Amino acid sequence: MELVIGTKKWSTWSLRPWLAAKRSGLSFTETLIDLRQADGGTALAIRPHSPSGLVPVLKTDDGAIWDSLAICEYLAEKAPHLWPADPVARAFARAAACEMHSGFSSLRGECPMDLTAQPHVAELSAATHKDIRRIVALWNSLLNRFGGPFLAGEWSIADAFFTPVATRFRTYGVHPSDFGDPGAAGAYAERLLEQPEFLEWERAALV
């Protein structure tokens, strides 16, 4: 398999399936496309790889799989441990991943991932505060229900989907304790950024 991804310091969509691919134990190669090229260079670079014209895309013997969630689901078909074995935990983990995949647009817009940015305290809108409160509540709910250390117990695709959020919290000075967190959500965000797969991605992004 070949995973085509965008610039590592910026591409949250690429980070998620890359983490899942690393955790899957499956063999894959990586092709990096530089994002934000001038004069349409990025689109030209992506076009030979992706039917949607976007990254990430997973090139397989079955064809090109586009969209980060679809890629993760394809990987999970081959590596079922990427989702919890318990059907209830699996359902909640999928719901959390889907909510991240389709929601929190204000946080995405105001706080883009940039792994090379210096941490600072940002002035955030009421809409972004609402997104953060929901994320903190969601994290606490799942951590309490399934006992941690990750959202549905053991690490899963849901945690891959929220790893970019943890980077945003770090970069923009967001402290879950300011949004109703008794402590579990903040510790979870730190835990995501301590995982060896993320640290490998981050080292590459900083080069």
Average pLDDT of the residues in 123-149: 98
pLDDT at residue 148 greater than cutoff 90: yes
pLDDT in tens, 42-62: 999 999 999 999 999 999 999
Average pLDDT of the residues in 16-33: 98
* DSSP per position, 120-175: -PPP--HHHHHHHHHHHHHHHHHHHHH-SSBTTBS--HHHHHHHHHHHHHHHTT--
pLDDT, residue 38, reads 87
pLDDT at residue 24 greater than cutoff 90: yes
Element (H, E) at 5: strand 2-6
Our measurement of the distance from residue 148's CA atom to the centroid of its chain's CA atoms, rounded to an integer in Å, reads 18
pLDDT in tens, 164-185: 999 999 999 999 999 999 999 9
Q: For the chain, list the domains and their CATH numbers.
A: 2-80 (3.40.30.10), 83-199 (1.20.1050.10)
Looking at the DSSP bridge assignments, the partners of residue 57 are 4, 66
What are the residues whose beta carbons fall under 8 Å from the beta carbon of 179, sequence distance 6 or more? 129, 132, 133, 136
- For the chain, the average pLDDT equals 97
pLDDT in tens, 80-122: 999 999 999 999 999 999 999 999 999 999 999 999 999 999 9
